[in-house]
Structure 1
């Protein structure tokens, strides 16, 4: 009898050891036990659903492209606002967005906000945000209606009202769209693919904006002209063109993506996990991930904001180049977005993010030393590709880190995305207004060169350090938890 008990105990011990080894291997590779359980009963999302989800953010993307790339150009060079005034208007928008994102995130997570929640609580906010964007954005890139002869202070108040409405709508679309990712699928690779496809459409949207802008400015202005006060109508043509594209894509998203019927049953997903606001705000890892996301966005957005001013003021390039160089930058982003998922699967998020940051920093350094005619004629486009390559990788990777933080806690996913976006928008707004305010010497044509080198390069470097620190701490915590969970049976014969 004792021999039989001993043999049974030995078999149990072997199974425990095998399970422990498997758990350690999975966690070392950044995998989660729950994901493997899902894959046994969960079928991957079809390609058409990935694409339908991806087009749901196109309206936001085309507006964001105009906002970050041409807002300062339009208000400073076309409408004649000062550097500080243009920076302040962008700050108003960023602060409004920063305040709106946690609000939208919190209320989007509540299941009883609307009587029409059967349509989908995320999609209801997406629809509301779409309407706000459409009724406000055309007035931003247009002369002040009925107040063109008013003081600059009155005009700034006029534009600020439309900017606040636009940014609230933009935040509602962004947060609801992001929070759909963990809702649509529990599978880690599908989530990464949805994020990559979402960014792929972001890049395509930016490409279309720059192509349309290049056509309008190149055809109407000529080869060697520069942007000036007579270009108000041209920006209106660009705005209405891209908004039409965004409306069509939003209609496709709402028609094809069914939040209430996403192919993932409650049996597969298991019980939903709700985490309180207080738990999230007292979780140190939230702030670590927020710092990574903020650094990534600073690099991408500030590059997008100041490259046109760098081209106009430092390199003295023509109006068409202010569309052609950003277009080249986003071609690099588009190519990169096609293989980010495979790169992440092969190398892991930390290595992938670090590669993107290194490429971005290299582009910033090249900007510092690129001054001759050859650089202006040819190499500036190579630098643009490097900016696109690095920005694409760090942004998608930071979104992946945020999705990993949410994990199975999809009931509060929108609030987490709201926290991330809050830090991003506030940091970007403050950075832009400070940079613009410090540019008081018009004769300092190298000012924006230094901004791209020091500020954007510094943001990429901080992001790389933050990702490395986060993964080191996560690995150490995983090892510690494994030793606490798994008893040592090695002494049992």
Structure 2
């Protein structure tokens, strides 16, 4: 027992966490991050333009993944919190889910960006069954890693400043991971194939090179995390229940703000994810740009998103979440409108990057402020905090999957302006919906939500680690 206490000393809240803990924790979600960047940015491009699936079939496969992720998230969260046999506690009730999830991600994701083994000449319906199997397992593994990694923050330390630093390190690692994906995509798709090439069936090996390159880096990061992050022994804090508001399920579901906050969060995620999903198809089909553009433009969006995240906190303190959210929505709407009217060589060469800055900045602002609004509903120590996040996550992932499938299913290949209209009206409409919802939820916040709130700061630190 003494040795165990020595091993876990870095997690004592009265001690300063060593630098290696921050670094190891930040590396722990990189495998998930690189896979997510590939999933949202290149899945539809790969299945439609490389493997030859029609738009509706590619949309169905993305929907399968989003539904699987939506179901897995609350399932993993619920079972991760449950009491388990002694051997699981010895292993670590969070880290056992992390280990299982990492295993599933490693052994399923490469199959998604590879030709159908033994069935590449079969009917598309059989290939869809094949890919759906690997996509479902991958999404379950991804959700397991996500939930386990997030839930370790309060396990590592209960010091709010240390939690903030852990969250910041993870966010920085997410930026590094996503930028790595886009840089590799730009390098492989542009240099190896020629800057004027268009994505087509001969790009199969190029996408496999990208996947294995970024996954190799992610696997090394996961091993470092697993070695250096020691999950503390399970301990109960006697005053925790007394400090936490006891929110019943009936009270929760009768609270109108649950649905209003859900609309804000869901609309924000719709704008962010649909922009990320369809920007590549817009570049290749509507603007007829070369292969390198599907790496450079998303890269510019992500860098702009990262830079824009820094002033959000100070602006929110001065103006409040409502005004800050609407400011971000205005930037996003300007970007959507510019997409609608953007034409010509100058737009494709220069102004598309200005549009990417507007869309990327808006993504960061509306995401951070929507998370702030969500944490007001959750509070820091409610007995339903994880469940409320599960509801938000379920609605977010399911709505995104359905939206992508509907958009892809009604697409007419002859309409080259289709994805321009998607970015303009669907993504812009999501921002309008989120703005309307945020106005209403803020006007009712003091009356409804504050009944269940004790403090929002530490929960914000936990939730903002979720990408």
Which TM-score applies when normalising by structure 2? 0.85
Partner of 1:448: 419
Which of 417, 429, 437 in structure 2 is aligned with 1:466? 437
The structure with the larger Rg is: 1
Q: Is the 8 A contact 2:255 2:448 kept in 1?
A: no
Cα distance in 2 for residues equivalent to 1:54 and 1:92: 29
Which of 150, 168, 176 in structure 1 is aligned with 2:140? 168
Partner of 1:334: 306
Q: How does 1:39-78 map to 2 (within 5 A)?
A: 49-78=21-50
Partner of 1:142: 114
Given the superposition, is the C-alpha separation of residues 178 and 466 from structure 1 closer, same or farther in structure 2, using an over 3 Å criterion? farther
| Deviation, structure 1 residue 130 | 1.4
Residue 220, structure 1, aligned to residue 186, structure 2 = no
| Deviation, structure 1 residue 81 | 0.5
| Deviation, structure 1 residue 76 | 0.5
Partner of 1:424: 396
Cα distance in 1 for residues equivalent to 2:170 and 2:90: 24
Which TM-score applies when normalising by structure 1? 0.81
Cα distance in 1 for residues equivalent to 2:351 and 2:430: 23
Q: Is the 8 A contact 1:333 1:391 kept in 2?
A: yes
Farther-moved stretch of structure 1 (466-475 vs 159-168): 466-475
Given the superposition, is the C-alpha separation of residues 124 and 472 from structure 1 closer, same or farther in structure 2, using an over 3 Å criterion? farther
Partner of 1:25: none
Q: Is the 8 A contact 1:178 1:417 kept in 2?
A: no
Cα distance in 2 for residues equivalent to 1:479 and 1:109: 26
Cα distance in 2 for residues equivalent to 1:454 and 1:350: 23
Unmatched tracts of structure 1, length 5 or more: 1-40, 482-493
| Deviation, structure 1 residue 480 | 9.9
Q: Is the 8 A contact 2:297 2:356 kept in 1?
A: yes
Cα distance in 2 for residues equivalent to 1:42 and 1:348: 33
| Deviation, structure 1 residue 285 | 3.2
Q: How does 1:314-393 map to 2 (within 5 A)?
A: 314-393=286-365
Q: Is the 8 A contact 1:195 1:399 kept in 2?
A: no
Partner of 1:301: 273
Q: Is the 8 A contact 1:138 1:239 kept in 2?
A: yes
| Deviation, structure 1 residue 333 | 1.6
Q: Is the 8 A contact 2:61 2:128 kept in 1?
A: yes
Given the superposition, is the C-alpha separation of residues 279 and 195 from structure 1 closer, same or farther in structure 2, using an over 3 Å criterion? farther
Task: Please give the secondary structure, in 2, of the residue aligned with 1:198.
Answer: helix
Cα distance in 2 for residues equivalent to 1:349 and 1:191: 22
Cα distance in 2 for residues equivalent to 1:380 and 1:46: 43
Cα distance in 2 for residues equivalent to 1:479 and 1:405: 8
| Deviation, structure 1 residue 268 | 8.6
Unmatched tracts of structure 2, length 5 or more: 1-12, 453-467
Partner of 2:457: none
Task: Please give the secondary structure, in 1, of the residue aligned with 2:297.
Answer: helix
Q: How does 1:264-283 map to 2 (within 5 A)?
A: 266=237, 271=242, 273=244, 280-283=252-255
Cα distance in 2 for residues equivalent to 1:66 and 1:138: 11
Alpha carbon RMSD of aligned pairs, Å?
3.0
Residue 156, structure 1, aligned to residue 128, structure 2 = yes
How many residue pairs are counted as aligned between the two chains? 440
Given the superposition, is the C-alpha separation of residues 53 and 345 from structure 1 closer, same or farther in structure 2, using an over 3 Å criterion? farther
Task: Please give the secondary structure, in 2, of the residue aligned with 1:121.
Answer: coil
